[in-house]
């Protein structure tokens, strides 16, 4: 794919800025983040818990509710700004153009309607010409695509009768019913059993290829990133701190946060007696973000300047950027990449 071509950009998020009005003050959940997703590409949005991944993805579809406030920025979908659309305008995009699957499948289905009625309703809402029978047939076909064996019977079930893995398949099927161009997957396997996780990721990968659909894949697990993503944006405390192709991030990551996060993936060969790895220190308080780098309190390489000034975004290679003073110095000194 031609990385410099701007024409195939499907979703272009620019300087998106979201905060929450809380009792303890303004909580800055997303700070002027920018990234783009090209057609047919899988973009990974990676970051620890609370780094603003969910909030930023909700704002794309207009799903945020008060006390969330969108302070600024633009979300261009096929060149059109879809931030702050009315309910009716947003409904025309949701499901048909951009669809979403969520972290906890158990709580994402209406418990008093059957799976089938929720699926056919989705088809009918997005395709006014479809008949009820067509909608049901399409739902059953889609359930087959996510490897559900007896879709006809499943249509008559309620969500609480099904397992989490089953529901996540159904949620994927439901999201893809109307052939969206972009699927936002917000940690779709985090709530599931490890054995089921792999199956779900395989299904997503297969369908993404088959439908040539772009995907914004949100996760905190670099193992999954390696498996599925073409490019990666790394989030920390509401900022995007590093961005690049999956290879850039894995083989020449530039931000200490990214490097630490990658080390945090538990490995099969670590002895059980050892504690699970974690990044030392507490994430900075999003209600009181200081002047410096968001990661400076926990960064093993932090210096005075890191606490005093926000690091600039430095371009390290085509498509690979990082916001870190270590790199800013090096970039200005025109030197190569020292390992940190």
Partner 1 sequence: MSARVGMSSDAEKRAGKKGNRTGVRLKVARYIIKRTLLFIPAILVILFILYTLIYFLPGSRMAMMPISRGGDALDSLFTSISAPDNFFTKFVRYIYNIIAHRDFGRSTPSSAGLMSDIAYRIKNTLLLLLTGVGATIVVGVPLGIYAALRKGRAADRVVSVITVFLSALPPYTVAIVLAIVICVRLSLLPVTHVASDPKAYILPTVTIALGGIASVARMARSSMLEVLEQPYITALRSKGLPERSVILKHALKNAMIPVISALGGLIAQLLCGTFVVENFFMVPGLGSFMLNSLSVRDHFEILGCAVILIIILMCMNLVSDILYGFVNPKIRLRYAEKPARRKRKEAAG
Where on the chain is the footprint of partner 1 (CB under 8 A)? Answer: 58, 61, 63, 87-88, 91-96, 99-100, 102, 104, 107-114, 118, 121-122, 125-126, 153, 156, 158, 160, 171, 174-175, 178
Find the shortest distance in angstroms from Cβ 244 to ligand ADP: 19
The length of the chain is 340
The two tokens of residue 59 are: 């704002």
Residue 61, binding choice from partner 1, Mg ion, ligand ADP, none, Cβ under 5 to 8 Å by partner class: partner 1
DSSP state letters, 211-249: TT-EEEEEES-HHHHHHH-SEEEEEETTEEEEEEEHHHH
Residue 50, binding choice from partner 1, ligand ADP, Mg ion, none, Cβ under 5 to 8 Å by partner class: ligand ADP
Residue 155, binding choice from ligand ADP, partner 1, Mg ion, none, Cβ under 5 to 8 Å by partner class: none
Question: How far apart (Å, rounded) are the C-alpha atoms in residues 220 and 143?
Answer: 28
From the number of C-beta atoms within 10 Å of its C-beta (0-12, 13-18, 19+), residue 198 rates as: middle
Question: How far apart (Å, rounded) are the C-alpha atoms in residues 30 and 155?
Answer: 38
Residue 189 lies near Mg ion (rule: CB under 5 A): no
Which residue number, 178 or 229, has a Cβ lying nearer to ligand ADP? Answer: 229
Find the shortest distance in angstroms from Cβ 122 to partner 1: 5
Find the shortest distance in angstroms from Cβ 29 to partner 1: 16
Question: How far apart (Å, rounded) are the C-alpha atoms in residues 39 and 208?
Answer: 11
Which residue number, 289 or 331, has a Cβ lying nearer to ligand ADP? Answer: 289
Instruction: Give the residues lining the site for ligand ADP (CB under 6 A).
Output: 20, 22, 27, 29, 47, 49-55, 67, 286
Find the shortest distance in angstroms from Cβ 186 to Mg ion: 6
**Nearest to residue 58, comparing CAs of 82, 22, 89?**
82
Residue 153, binding choice from Mg ion, partner 1, ligand ADP, none, Cβ under 5 to 8 Å by partner class: partner 1
Pairing relation of β-strands 9-22 and 25-38?
A: antiparallel
Which residue number, 51 or 122, has a Cβ lying nearer to partner 1? Answer: 122
Find the shortest distance in angstroms from Cβ 198 to ligand ADP: 22
From 48-56, 83-91, 200-208, 271-279, span contacting Mg ion (CB under 5 A): 48-56
Find the shortest distance in angstroms from Cβ 113 to partner 1: 7
3-state secondary structure of 266: coil
From 53-61, 233-241, 249-257, 316-324, span contacting Mg ion (CB under 5 A): 53-61
Find the shortest distance in angstroms from Cβ 194 to ligand ADP: 20
Neighbours of 332 (CB within 10 A): 10
Pairing relation of β-strands 214-219 and 231-236?
A: unpaired
Residue 54 lies near Mg ion (rule: CB under 5 A): yes
From 46-54, 80-88, 227-235, 253-261, span contacting Mg ion (CB under 5 A): 46-54
From 51-59, 125-133, 190-198, 265-273, span contacting Mg ion (CB under 5 A): 51-59
From the number of C-beta atoms within 10 Å of its C-beta (0-12, 13-18, 19+), residue 115 rates as: buried
What stretches of the chain show up as alpha helix (H) in DSSP?
A: 53-61, 87-93, 115-126, 132-145, 151-155, 164-176, 194-210, 222-228, 246-252, 256-263, 304-308, 325-332
**What are φ and ψ of residue 257, in 5° steps?**
-60, -45
The two tokens of residue 5 are: 């071509």
Find the shortest distance in angstroms from Cβ 52 to ligand ADP: 4
Residue nearest Mg ion, Cβ-based: 54
**Nearest to residue 45, comparing CAs of 195, 246, 211, 308?**
246
Residue 298, binding choice from partner 1, Mg ion, ligand ADP, none, Cβ under 5 to 8 Å by partner class: none
Residues of this chain that interact with Mg ion (CB under 5 A) are 54
């Amino acid at each position: 794919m031609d990385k410099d071509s701007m024409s195939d950009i499907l979703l272009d998020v620019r300087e998106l800025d979201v905060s929450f009005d809380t009792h303890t003050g303004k909580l800055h959940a997303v700070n002027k983040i920018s990234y783009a997703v090209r057609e047919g590409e899988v973009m990974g949005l990676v970051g620890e818990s609370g780094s603003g991944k969910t909030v930023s993805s909700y704002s794309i579809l207009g799903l945020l509710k008060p006390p969330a406030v969108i302070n600024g920025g633009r979300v261009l979908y096929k060149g059109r700004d879809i931030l702050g659309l009315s309910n009716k305008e947003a409904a025309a995009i949701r499901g048909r153009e951009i669809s979403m699957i969520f972290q906890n499948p158990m709580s994402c289905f209406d418990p008093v309607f059957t799976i089938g009625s929720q699926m056919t309703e989705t088809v009918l809402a997005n395709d006014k010409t479809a008949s009820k029978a067509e909608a049901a047939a399409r739902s059953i076909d889609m359930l087959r695509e996510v490897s559900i064996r007896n879709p006809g019977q499943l249509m008559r079930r309620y969500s609480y009768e099904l397992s989490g893995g089953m529901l996540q398949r159904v949620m994927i099927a439901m999201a893809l019913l109307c052939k969206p161009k972009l699927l936002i997957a917000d940690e779709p396997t985090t709530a599931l059993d490890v054995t089921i996780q792999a199956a779900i990721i395989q299904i997503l990968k297969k369908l993404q290829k088959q439908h040539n659909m772009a995907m914004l894949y949100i996760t905190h697990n670099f193992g999954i990133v390696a498996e599925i993503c073409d490019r990666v944006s790394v989030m920390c405390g509401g900022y995007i701190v590093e961005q690049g192709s999956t290879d850039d991030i894995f083989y020449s990551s530039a931000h200490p946060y990214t490097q630490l996060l990658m080390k945090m993936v538990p490995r099969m060969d670590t002895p059980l007696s050892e504690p699970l790895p974690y990044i030392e220190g507490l994430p900075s308080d999003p209600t009181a973000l200081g002047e410096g780098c968001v990661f400076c309190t926990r960064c093993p390489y932090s210096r005075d300047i890191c606490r005093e000034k926000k690091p600039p975004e430095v371009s390290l290679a085509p498509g690979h950027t990082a916001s870190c003073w270590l790199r800013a110095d090096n970039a200005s000194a025109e030197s190569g990449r020292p390992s940190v």
